[in-house]
Chain A
Amino acid sequence: EVQLQESGPGLVKPSQSLSLTCSVTGYSITSNYWGWIRKFPGNKMEWMGYISYSGSTSYNPSLKSRISITRDTSKNQFFLQLNSVTTEDTATYYCAKEGGAYWGQGVMVTVPS
C-alpha cells in the first residue's frame, strides 16, 4: 500500500524558510511524479510543484523564485523548501503522488504576523 507522510514544523517565522519532508512507503519515488499542494484557510487549493522520477522539477510560476523541491532516493523521501515566507503562506501542506491517488495526511503550517 502506498503511504505518504509529511513532517516538519508547524510554525515558521516571517522571512524564514519553510522546510517539509514527505516520506513515502510502498512505492519508489524513482517512479512517477511526486508533488506538493497546499490548502489555504478559506478552502483555496494551490499546486506548488513536483519532482519527477528522474529528479527533474516543475514549479508553479507564482512560487518559482522561492520554492525548491529535492529528494533523497536512499530514504525514499522528497522535500519542500519555501523561502521568505509571509503570513500568506499559512496553509495546510500536502504531498501527493501524481494524479492525486495518494496523499499524505497534511501538515498545518502557520506564519504568524
Chain B
Amino acid sequence: DIQMTQSPSSMSVSLGDTVTITCRASQDVGIYVNWFQQKPGKSPRRMIYRATNLADGVPSRFSGSRSGSDYSLTISSLESEDVADYHCLQYDEYPPTFGAGTKLELK
C-alpha cells in the first residue's frame, strides 16, 4: 500500500497564523490527493480535491499544492472555525490510504 506520511501530527496555532500541513507519498500518486477537515462529532468535509482544487463552499484561505511527492494544505489567516483535525488521502492506487492526521489546537 502507498504510505502517506503526514506532518506534523499536531500543531499549536494562533488566530491569524498561516498553517501548512504536509503529506509525503511513498510513491507517485500524481494529482490524486484530497484533503479533509474533521471536527469532533462531525463527518469529514472535503476541503481540497485533486491536490490543488478548492471544494465547493470552502473558504479561499484554504489552498492545496504539490511539489514532487509532497502535498501541502495551507490555511492563510487561520480562523477559529478552522481548528480541527485534517487528513490527506491518496486515491491514485487502490487501496486508497489516509495520512495519520494533524490536530490543530489553539495556543
A residues engaging B (CB < 8 A)? Answer: 43-47, 58, 60-62, 94, 96, 99-101, 103-106
Contact = CB atoms under 8 A, between A and B. Distances in A.
A58 B91 CA distance: 13
Nearest to B44: A103
Interface stretch (B16-24, B66-74, B95-103): B95-103
Given A43-B103, A99-B91, A103-B45, 13 more contacts: A44-B98, A44-B100, A45-B87, A45-B98, A47-B89, A47-B96, A47-B97, A58-B95, A99-B34, A99-B46, A100-B89, A103-B44, A105-B42
Interface string B63-107: 000000000000000000000010101010011111011010000
Nearest to A47: B96
B85 A100 contact: no
Interface residues of B, number: 22
A60 B34 CA distance: 19
Contact of B95 (A43, A60, A106): A60
B43 A104 contact: yes
A58 B95 CA distance: 9
Contacts of A94: 43-44
A60 B43 CA distance: 21
Contact of A100 (B34, B56, B97): B34
